[in-house]
Amino acid sequence: MKKLFKDKVVIVTGASSGIGEAIAREFALNGSKVVLAARTESKLQEITNEITSTGGDAFFVRTDVSVEADCKTLIGKTIEKYGRIDILVNNAGLSMRASFLDVDVKVLHQLMNVNFWGTVYCTKFALPYLIESKGSLIGVSSVAGFHGLPGRTGYSASKFAIHGFLETIRIENLRKGLHVMIIAPGFTSTEIRKHALTANGREQGESPRDEKRLMSPGYVAKWVLKGIRKKKRNKLLTWDGRFTALFQRIIPTVVDWAYYLEMSKEPKSPIK
């Protein structure tokens, strides 16, 4: 693994915590030159310092992926420093928890701006360099991008949009050696549920799930590197996700009811 990723230039969005931070650290451990992007500059500085203090090569660019100019700057500064891009991991994301009947439409706009448009902007500016290096374009997704999840309309919509976007990029560049992978972790122990938006756009502030029983960010990060090494197309990290992708084509109504029942059992569920 270290031989494969040594000196590769890797950009990771949403790298200030959770899955993004774990991915950045994992690439650094394997000898990559890592560019961390997120909005929280103090956290980015802390992670970058920790990576470089142990001999890693990293720097950060404060980036709000929902702002096109920020994404252009991110790519520009990466090229200015390293002269190439080998891997772009579109990880930055925002979640929500509210029924569509109750949610303010501005919440859906916010989800699309971060999750979908953030992926579009970063990919747009990085793509020529990824094609030149015959690199990898990664989207960190969810089972919500394969089957709609109740109470997560904006989140599912954004992930479905990302899937369509990345699949089309893959097809358009079949002859150019570009690798495109969509990776879908299960519920992972991160801050995303605490920051998930409620019906009025406020953060819910607490997780409705037992975080100790969830997938670890480090586990997801290792699979990102494995997926790139194996040139995976889609990688679902849970059996629930794999069964969903399969059975939605065979018994979709059963899958609908399974997710309805699961989500309705969450504490303070918006699904009745």
Residues 109, 125, 131, CA angle at the centre, nearest 5°? Answer: 125
Give the 3-state DSSP-derived string for the chain, with helices as H, strands as E and coil as C.
CHHHHCCCEEEEECCCCHHHHHHHHHHHHCCCEEEEEECCHHHHHHHHHHHHHCCCEEEEEECCCCCHHHHHHHHHHHHHHHCCCCEEEECCCCCECECCCCCCHHHHHHHHHHHHHHHHHHHHHHHHHHHHHCCEEEEECCHHHCCCCCCEHHHHHHHHHHHHHHHHHHHHCHHHCCEEEEEECCCECCCCCCCCECCCCCECCCCCCCHHHCECHHHHHHHHHHHHHCCCCEEECCHHHHHHHHHCCCCHHHHHHHHHHHHHCCCCCCCC
How many CB atoms lie under 10 A from the CB of residue 267? 8
Retrieve residue 163's tokens: 């899937």
Euclidean distance between CA atoms 235 and 188, whole angstroms: 15
Active-site choice (121, 155, 259, 260): 155
- Residues 134, 177 contacting (CB under 8 angstroms): yes
Residues in the chain: 272
Asked if 260 is an active-site residue, the reply is no
Backbone angles phi, psi at 255, to 5 degrees: -65, -40
Q: Which residues are catalytic?
A: 155
